[in-house]
Amino acid sequence: MPRAPTVLRMGIYGERVLPHIIHTVCGMKVTHPFRERVCADLHGEVVEVGFGSGNNIDFYPQAVTKVTAIEPSDTAWRIAGKRLQDSPVPVERSGLDGQRLPFADQTFDAALSTWTICTIPDARAALAELRRVLKPGGKLHFVEHGLAPDPKVQRWQHRFNGINKRLIGGCNLDRPIVDLITQSGFRVVEVDVFYEKGAPKFVGADSLGTAVAS
C-alpha cells in the first residue's frame, strides 16, 4: 500500500508532466539551427520517429510531401495540435513504437530522428526498422546527443546516466550514436560531432548527419 502513491506520481509525471518539460526544453531557440540543418534535404514521404510535440514542423522543406509521425505520448501529440493545424505539410500519426513500425518494406523516401535514439529502449531494433521501411538509397537524417568523444566527459556521462534515465523518461546520456547507426545496416554519409554551446558537455555531446540505408 505505501508504494501505490509513488507509482501513481511516476505515472502522472511520465505521461502528463514530462512531455511538457521536453516540449519546452527541446523547443528552445538554441535547437533551431540544428533542426534546420538536419531537415534541410528531406524530401518526399518522411517517417519521423519520436515526433514529440512537433518541434520540427517549421523546418520541413517544401520538397516534403507527407510526414508519418511515430509518437507514443498522447500528451505530446495534443501539445502539437496548433502546429499540426498550421503545418503546410500533412502530418499523420501512424505508430506508437519505433521498435515495431506498422509499414511495409521500402515505404518511405527519408527518415528523421531528432534527440530520440537516446530514449528508445532498443535503439538497434528501432534503427533496423527505419532501415527496413526506407526505400533503397533512402536517408536517415539524425541529430542525437550521446557518448562524448572525450574520455573525461564520458566518465561523467556514465556516472549520471542512471539518474538521467529516471528523470527524463529513459533518456541515456552515453549511447554511441554513430556506432549504433552503422551497426544497424546504415552507411553514414556525413556526420558532425560537437558540443552544444551553453550546455554541460556531458548532456550536450551531439552527432548530426545523414546515413544511407544500405
Domain containing residue 28: CATH number: 3.40.50.150
pLDDT tens per residue, range 15-67: 888 888 888 888 899 999 999 999 999 999 999 999 999 999 999 999 999 99
Question: Domain span at residue 46?
Answer: 4-213
Phi, psi of 46 (to 5 degrees): -120, 135
Residue 211, pLDDT > 60, answer yes
CA dist 160 and 198 (Å) reads 19
pLDDT tens per residue, range 73-127: 999 999 999 999 999 999 999 989 999 999 999 999 999 999 999 999 999 999 9
CA dist 51 and 113 (Å) reads 8
Residue 8, pLDDT > 90, answer no
C-alpha of 201 from chain center = 19
- Please give the model's pTM, rounded to 2 decimal places: 0.91
Helices (H), the chain: 4-12, 18-26, 32-39, 74-79, 81-86, 123-133, 151-167, 177-183
Number of domains in the chain: 1
* Dihedral sign (CA 22, 37, 49, 123): negative
Extract the C-alpha cell encoding 138: 533512402
